[in-house]
Amino acid sequence: MTSDKQHQQKKTDFIRDLVRADQSSKRHSGRVQTRFPPEPNGYLHLGHAKSICLNFGIAEEFGGICNLRFDDTNPVTESVEFVHSIQRDIEWILGKQISTRPLFASDYFEQMFEWAVLLIEKGKAYVDDQDAETISELRGNFTEVGVDSPFRKRTPEENLKLFQMMRDGDFPEGSCVLRAKIAMDHENMNMRDPVLYRIRNESHFRTENDWVIYPTYDWAHGQSDAIENVTHSLCTLEFESHRLLYDWFIEQLEIPLDKRPYQSEFARLNFTHTVLSKRLLKRLVEDCVVEGWDDPRMPTISGLRRRGYPSEAIRNFCDHIGIAKTNSTHEIELLESFVRTELNQSAQRRMAVIDPVKLTITNWPTGKLEYRTAINNPEDKSAGTREIPFSGNLLIEREDFMEDPLPKFFRLSPGREVRLRYGYFVTCTGFINDENGDLVEILCTYDPETSGGKAPDGRKVKATIHWVEEANSQRGSVATYARLFSSEKPDAFDDPFDDLNKESREVFETATFEPSISDVENGEVVQFERLGYFCRDESKEILFHQTVGLRDEWANIQKRNKSK
Ligand code: ATP
Ligand code: MG
């Protein structure tokens, strides 16, 4: 067996090839340093997981380090709550603690300010009194060049004075900005005198009221990388056209060659039936479409954790899809198949009936209770067995009975014999409906000779159903989930919220479980026989969230694609 490290060394993709080449040409004296730079303005999602696996993975594979750096340059939307959730989620995804302490772009505000002063002194930045709308209008577009601001000719002395006044709070919000002085006719729009600082009279969750000017993302990002000595600055494709600007800043600031970060771009992760934009995820929370960032229907790390996704499954998925340079969308079923593979190995089996109806065995000896032996995990012998009570008073799934069975329905119906999992063969002899015609009880007889799950005369049954013994059952709730968005591409809607599936959650409040359910810990995932994988919630009452079903829908999709 190869060790993890050997396995990882074999990984190849265009970024790893580049890192290898840089290491052998000693570009940064062979050093490799990456970073994961989230903005603390929301919870992390699956897309972030890809970036986390990439950045931390590369650092580990090449003997380098990866810092968690909060890109906290926007005082309005950021908070400590998000900082804490992000750190927790990263460590969960990685399956270990982050070895370096978290860093914050806000710790570099003073250095960024000094560098902005340096640009002004070099005649490469100016204070512009135009309002945001005018600035945006005069930037031009892909076919039209931009127009110089009337304030572009200000002298460095005047700009230095004005920039200091901006910092000192002498101007109202929106009255002026600091811009880089590059070229308003540049073919790359990002080079048309981008804004570096805005006035914002807002308190920041870390620097509090120290600043009333805040750097823009474009100004803060590359400079933060340079301050930290990041060697490989990995980001998503939409920043490709910003690279020229970031390199221009670094050049102007005369950062020594071996200290310059080099940016490479990779494709964002997208899934069918899923939105991964923080803006939309925030709206789902704020509009109470879901019950919070950790609602099990959310593609957030905290939502998936609550739903019972093992972090190994997410890591394995990220390994499997690798890194590419073109954006594409992955089927959500592929991720689910990784989850299923992982849980099939690790999850204990239990019996639960989530929509129960009584099944009475009329020829069962009155008052008799016996124990049946059930296998905890057929994939893992060491998980052992358990004893489950069995009697003549059982509960089975309402949908496992049909008064008039449809073709291909092989489960219980009048006159039909089926196997009770770990129990006996039973034959339906009758049923009782209430005055509304709703089924309340199914009557059966059992064959005592079928205790081993087989009939001595060799007769076969077409279905095995699960059950719970009524008197010893535990009660609780089970939530099952469908896709939060109905169509494969919710992003294709003008408003993806028009595509929301109104029936994405169903809660069964009268679910019943075999007694050993009480051994299942909060956060643990079990397989409910025939139903799927379910994760026990942290709440005091018994509540389970459906993690994923048993059927491999990914296999079906592959078959469908092959036959196309
Ligand atoms: P959003 O667009 O959802 O607001 P973001 O990119 O602004 O996300 P950040 O907190 O800035 O969110 O993201 C931190 C890092 O995670 C960035 O370096 C970004 O490249 C990466 N990232 C974000 N979304 C994805 C994604 N869908 N796939 C891969 N990486 C992503
Ligand atoms: Mg971002």
- Return the CATH number of 109-217, one of 3.40.50.1000, 3.10.580.10, 3.40.47.10, 3.90.800.10: 3.90.800.10
Q: Whose CA is nearest to atom 10 of ligand 1?
A: 38
- Return the CATH number of 270-349+475-564, one of 3.30.360.10, 1.10.8.60, 3.20.20.80, 1.10.1160.10: 1.10.1160.10
Pocket test of ligand 1: the residue of 58, 78, 236, 329 to mutate, having most ligand atoms within 8 Å of its CB, is 236
Regions of the chain with pLDDT less than 70: 1-9, 564
Q: Whose CA is nearest to atom 4 of ligand 1?
A: 278
How many whole angstroms from 40 Cα to the centroid of ligand 2?
10
- Ligand 1 near 276 CB (within 6 A): yes
- Catalytic residue list contains 39: yes
Q: Whose CA is nearest to atom 2 of ligand 1?
A: 277
Residues 6+ apart with CB under 8 A from 112: 215, 219, 220, 223
- Ligand 1 near 491 CB (within 6 A): no
- Which atom number of ligand 1 is nearest to the Cα of residue 52? 16
Quote the pLDDT of residue 560: 78
Residue from 181, 278, 416, 419 carrying the catalytic annotation: 278
- Ligand 1 near 69 CB (within 6 A): no
- CA 216 centroid distance within chain: 27
Closest ligand to C-alpha of residue 36 is 1
pLDDT over 90 percentage in the chain: 94
The partner residues of 395 in beta bridges, in order of sequence, read: 358, 468
Angstrom distance (rounded) from CA 244 to CA 263: 10
Quote the pLDDT of residue 553: 78
Q: Where in the chain is the domain with CATH 1.10.1160.10?
A: 270-349+475-564
- Ligand 1 near 51 CB (within 6 A): yes
For residue 327, the tally of other CB atoms under 10 A from its CB is: 13
The partner residues of 197 in beta bridges, in order of sequence, read: 178, 215
Span between the terminal Cα atoms of the chain, in Å: 38
What is the DSSP secondary structure assignment for residue 34, as one 8-state letter?
A: E
Specify whether the CB–CB gap between 347 and 377 falls below 8 A. yes
Tokens of 127: 């204070």
Strands 543-548 and 532-536, sheet pairing: antiparallel
- Catalytic residue list contains 60: no
Rounded to 10 degrees, what is the CA torsion of 469, 471, 473, 476? Answer: 130
- Catalytic residue list contains 419: no
Quote the pLDDT of residue 564: 67
Angstrom distance (rounded) from CA 300 to CA 292: 10
Strands 177-180 and 195-199, sheet pairing: antiparallel
Q: What is the 3-state secondary structure (H, E, C) of 348-404?
A: EEECEECCEEEEEECCCCCCCCEEEEEECCCCCHHHCEEEEEECCEEEEEHHHECCC
Tokens of 161: 């004075």
- Ligand 1 near 86 CB (within 6 A): no
84-88 long-range CB contacts below 8 Å, 24 or more apart? 85/43, 85/44, 85/293, 85/302, 86/38, 86/40, 86/43, 86/44, 88/302
Residue 15: Cβ-neighbour burial (10 angstroms; 0-12, 13-18, 19+): buried
Residue 153: Cβ-neighbour burial (10 angstroms; 0-12, 13-18, 19+): exposed
- Ligand 1 near 229 CB (within 6 A): no
Of residues 268, 276, 237, 283, the one with CA closest to residue 490: 276
Angstrom distance (rounded) from CA 505 to CA 284: 14
pLDDT digits (tens, 9 = 90+) for 310-328: 999 999 999 999 999 998 8
Q: Where in the chain is the domain with CATH 2.40.240.10?
A: 352-466
pLDDT digits (tens, 9 = 90+) for 529-541: 999 999 999 999 9
CATH architecture designation of domain 352-466: Beta Barrel (2.40)
Angstrom distance (rounded) from CA 46 to CA 273: 13
- Which atom number of ligand 1 is nearest to the Cα of residue 41? 10
pLDDT digits (tens, 9 = 90+) for 228-269: 999 999 999 999 999 999 999 999 999 999 899 999 999 999
Amino acid at 339: V
Tokens of 86: 């992000």
Tokens of 355: 């929509």
Angstrom distance (rounded) from CA 219 to CA 234: 17
Q: How far is the CA of 236 from the CAs of 221, 225, 266, 309, in angstroms?
A: 13, 16, 5, 25
Quote the pLDDT of residue 315: 98
- Ligand 1 near 47 CB (within 6 A): yes
Angstrom distance (rounded) from CA 194 to CA 12: 36
Strands 464-465 and 385-390, sheet pairing: unpaired
